[in-house]
Every structure is written in C-alpha cells, then in structure tokens.
Amino acid sequence: MKDKARFIVVKVLTEIEENKAFSNIKLNQYFKKYDLTSLDRAFATEVLYGTVRWKLRIDYFIQSFLNRNIDTVNLWALNCIRIAVYQIFFMDKIPDFAAVNQSVDICKAKFPKLSGFVNGVLRNILRNKESFNVINESDPIKFMSIKYSHPEWLVRYFTKLFNQEFLEELMMANNQPPKLTIRVNTLKISKDNLREKLLNRGIKVYDGILEECLILEDIGHLEKVPEFIEGLFFIQDQGSMLTSKVLNPLPGQKILDMCAAPGGKTTHLAQLMKNKGEIVAFDIYKHKINLILDNAKRLGINIIKPVLKDATVYMEELNDSFDKILLDAPCSGLGLLRKKPEIRWNIKEEDIFELTKIQKVLLNNASKYVKIGGEIVYSTCTITKEENEDIIEDFLDENKNFELVDISNFVCDKLFIKNDYYLRLYPNLHDTDGFFICKLKRLW
C-alpha cells in the first residue's frame, strides 16, 4: 500500500468501531509497525482524530448521498469515504482529487468490488460541497448533536447541567485537538534548563498554568526526543497534574495511589515527595503494573511499589495505614473527548450509573485505609454530577468522620468556577481535560 498513512487511519477507524479500541493505543501500534515520516505521522494523527471527532456530522452528510441506511454500508468502505470527507471539508491543504483517489485505492486494496461505490459517492459529494453546512433538523437537541458531532443522549444530558452558551462552547472545545503539555521532572532538571534544551532543538515552548508544566508545539513522535528518553519530562495534562498537587504529599510520608496506571500521577507524587517516602500503587492489570515500573525507572524514581490488586476488594490489613490516598477513580471519561474522541461513541448513559457503584466502593475502601488526620483526594476525568458531587455528598452523609478540605491554597484562584470545595475543570474554560477534584480529611 503506497499511502500508508491513510491506510493506517482506515484500519484504526475500523478497529475502533468493531472492537471499541482506543485510538491512541492502536495508532501507536501501527506507527511502530510501519515506517512513516514525521509528516506522515502528523497527517495520520490529524485525519484519524478529526474523523472520529466529527463522525456524526460526516455521517449525516454522507447519508444524504446514499439510497440506503448508512449502517448497512461495509465498514471499510464507509471509513474510506469518511476520511475523504474529513480531508475535503476540514483540511485546507489537501487537494480534493488526492483525498478521493487515495480513498478509492485503499478500498480497492481490500474490497475491490466496492471501490466503484466509494468513487461514485465521493464524486457526487464533490459536486454538492455547498450542502455540507445544511442541517435539516428542527429539534434543537438533534440539531446540536449533528452540528457538534456529539451523541444525542449526551447533548440531552449536558443540557441538564449547562446553559446553552456554555454547552455549545464545551462541545466546540471537545472537537479541538488538545495542546501538548508536559510535566518537568524536577528530580532531574529545572524547568528553565529543560526549556532551554527543547528550544535548542527548535521546539516551541510555552508556560502552563502550573509551575512544573510546559506546553509544547506538537512535534509528532515526542517519545523519540532525547530529553524524553532521559526522563526529563512526562507527557501529562495539567488537570491530571493538579490531582497530585492538591493531595500535597510530603517527603517521608506513606501514600496509596489506588488506581495508578500508567503512573503519571504516581510519579508526580514521588516528584513532590522529592523521591523520599513510600508510594504503594495499585492496579488491576499486569501490563499496566509494568507501565508504572517503566515510567518510574525512566524518571529515576525508586519509592513506588506497584502492587497487582483489585482496589474494589476490601483489605482489612490496610486499615489506618496511609498518611494520604489518591483515588483517581475509573469513570466515564467524558472530560477526555478532545484527547480520546471515540469515548463519546463508546460510552452509554447507563454506563455512568454502573461506574458510580465502583466509585462508591473504592471511596469507602479508601476511607478505611487512611489514618486519622489523613487525607484523600477523590478525582475523575469526567464532568458528570453523578460521578462527582453526588458521590462525595453521599459519602459525607454516611461518614460523619470525614469533612471536605479547602484546596484553594494549592490551586490558582482563576481555576475555581464556584466558591465551594470542588475544583471543576472544563476544556472550554481552562484549556485542560475535563476534571473533578476534591479533598477529604478523616477526623476520627
């Protein structure tokens, strides 16, 4: 296959839909398998993520050129059409003929009998480009769903939480690629020295909100940069960094990270502790335990003890064992739609309520493991009320020996939306992933 970049995109799109694969993991697997230039990697990344983000808008448009339901179209052929439509309407520098011809060739490579169908649909689309912005829907939920390419149930759910202006800004932000943020590993280098090294490589560098954060111009395969290999930084969103900052672990303390993989927050905790003390890091998957170990080794950290454990299983022997606990709970991930756009298509409303059951069990277990006077940070990378405020309020109703802690000392004022104990981050307001963070203290 001559055009490896587009071929990879179609393969990943197909696996996302057939197997609910994660876009970032699959894309990296194919990048390792196929030898692509940095330009081809960047192109494949943009086409993949863009097509996933705008899938509903693209499909609505494609449907108008079909004489049957789009769900009955061969998935490989449909993905060939989708990536061409994305290039035609969302990428200025790609000639229309190149987008069409390459998609036809990719279809022909696997389903030669369908290449004529793909060619016919795309040629018809080129003759009717002006109709792309026409959305014939009077229902406001359906209209916004198509316009911003979010599933109907999610738009309907968001209307219960946000006003119209905020909702549209949020969905627009969800369709923008996130900035590339890194956490400086201050155990090995200062922020200024790392900035200088990266600038000398021709990488554009900007300051983030947090003192240990830098924002980089996306340069493609960052893992090949020597400073990354040497463990001078970790790729991490600022919202994720804030969870560790709010926990505020001190050197010499004993910390539990209940859901630790891949180790971004865990290694940040160790960094804040100056690599002194002990961090017990639970995860349920063996391969993720190995990820934590690999990241700790690269960053020069030796106080993390990864343990293969299902944190939902209560362990009485851990009662009153930890000074502080980080519970970054499994969640719906609806704060990550910029970074993992397929989540919007894979998650269902009923999944939220199933996840709350796990979150309650985890928080209840954490409440037993923390020492009297100790603290727990509860965080998620989602923006649903059920997984955030409701979890904490229910917990406090049932556990009078805990109270919420003011975390404003650890966070700059402009990040707070309301004057309460909860930190809520949104991509449209803070240019971070969507996050919820709060801190609980055990009184007796």
Give the residue carrying structure tokens 């994720």.
240
The pLDDT value recorded for residue 218 is: 67
The pLDDT value recorded for residue 188 is: 98
Annotated catalytic residue within 80, 107, 331, 381:
381
- Regarding whether 212 and 272 lie in a shared domain, the answer is no
Structure tokens belonging to residue 210: 């947090």
Distance CA 90, CA 247 (A): 41
Confirm whether 173 is domain-assigned.
no
**Does the annotation place 260 within a ligand binding site?**
yes
The amino acid at residue 336 is L
CATH number, domain containing residue 187: 3.30.70.1170
Given 189, 219, 235, the domain boundary residue is 235
Bridge partners (DSSP) of residue 324 are 255, 375
Give the residue carrying structure tokens 């930190």.
423
Q: Known catalytic residue: 107?
A: no
- Regarding whether 242 and 225 lie in a shared domain, the answer is no
Q: What is the pLDDT of residues 152-209, one digit of tens each?
A: 999 999 999 999 999 999 999 999 999 999 999 999 999 999 999 999 999 999 999 8
Helix (H) or strand (E) holding 286: helix 286-299
- Regarding whether 296 and 276 lie in a shared domain, the answer is yes
**Does the annotation place 265 within a ligand binding site?**
yes
Distance CA 78, CA 114 (A): 10
Q: Are the C-beta atoms of residues 59 and 82 closer than 8 Å to each other?
A: yes
**Does the annotation place 35 within a ligand binding site?**
no
Name the maximum alpha-carbon separation found in the chain: 72
Q: Is the per-residue pLDDT at 241 higher than 70? A: yes
The amino acid at residue 443 is L
According to DSSP, the β-strands at 213-216 and 180-184 are antiparallel
Distance CA 315, CA 217 (A): 45
**Does the annotation place 373 within a ligand binding site?**
no
Confirm whether 147 is domain-assigned.
no
**Does the annotation place 297 within a ligand binding site?**
no
List the one residue out of 327, 418, 424 whose CA is nearest residue 382: 424
Distance CA 397, CA 380 (A): 20
CATH number, domain containing residue 265: 3.40.50.150
The pLDDT value recorded for residue 341 is: 96
Structure tokens belonging to residue 300: 């020069």
Distance CA 63, CA 208 (A): 42
Rg (CA), the chain: 23
Distance CA 364, CA 302 (A): 29
**Does the annotation place 120 within a ligand binding site?**
no
Confirm whether 144 is domain-assigned.
no
**Does the annotation place 261 within a ligand binding site?**
yes
Distance CA 360, CA 6 (A): 43
- Regarding whether 114 and 204 lie in a shared domain, the answer is no
Structure tokens belonging to residue 85: 């439509």
List the one residue out of 267, 365, 353, 360 whose CA is nearest residue 311: 365
- Regarding whether 216 and 259 lie in a shared domain, the answer is no
Mean pLDDT computed over every residue of the chain: 95
- Regarding whether 202 and 77 lie in a shared domain, the answer is no
pLDDT band at 140 (very low <50, low <70, confident <90, very high): very high
Average pLDDT over residues 33-53: 93
Say which DSSP state 178 is in: P
CATH number, domain containing residue 116: 1.10.940.10
Domain carrying residue 67: 4-134
- Regarding whether 194 and 289 lie in a shared domain, the answer is no
Structure tokens belonging to residue 137: 């829907």
The pLDDT value recorded for residue 316 is: 98
The pLDDT value recorded for residue 220 is: 64
- Regarding whether 102 and 231 lie in a shared domain, the answer is no
The pLDDT value recorded for residue 351 is: 98
Q: Is the per-residue pLDDT at 258 higher than 90? A: yes
Structure tokens belonging to residue 378: 């509860």
**Does the annotation place 360 within a ligand binding site?**
no
List the one residue out of 204, 164, 210 whose CA is nearest residue 186: 210
- Regarding whether 279 and 421 lie in a shared domain, the answer is yes
Distance CA 82, CA 62 (A): 8
- Regarding whether 378 and 242 lie in a shared domain, the answer is yes
- Regarding whether 125 and 99 lie in a shared domain, the answer is yes
**Tally of structural domains, the chain:** 3
Q: How many CB atoms lie under 10 A from the CB of residue 436?
A: 26
Confirm whether 163 is domain-assigned.
no
Given 98, 115, 134, the domain boundary residue is 134
**Does the annotation place 59 within a ligand binding site?**
no
Q: What is the pLDDT of residues 94-139, one digit of tens each?
A: 999 999 999 999 999 999 999 999 999 999 999 999 999 899 999 9
**Does the annotation place 397 within a ligand binding site?**
no
Confirm whether 110 is domain-assigned.
yes
- What are the backbone dihedrals phi and psi of residue 403, each rounded to the nearest 5 degrees, phi first? -140, 155
Confirm whether 63 is domain-assigned.
yes
Q: Which residues of 20-29 are buried (b: 16+ CB within 10 A; e: fewer)?
A: ebbbeebbee
Q: What is the pLDDT of residues 358-412, one digit of tens each?
A: 999 999 999 999 999 999 999 999 999 999 999 999 999 999 999 999 998 888 7
Q: Is the per-residue pLDDT at 414 higher than 80? A: no
Confirm whether 150 is domain-assigned.
no
What are the residue ranges of helices labelled H in 54-163? 55-63, 75-90, 96-110, 115-127, 140-148, 152-161
Q: Are the C-beta atoms of residues 280 and 257 closer than 8 Å to each other?
A: yes
Give the residue carrying structure tokens 């943009």.
46
The pLDDT value recorded for residue 337 is: 97
Given 70, 100, 134, the domain boundary residue is 134
Confirm whether 323 is domain-assigned.
yes
- Regarding whether 242 and 214 lie in a shared domain, the answer is no
Say which DSSP state 66 is in: -
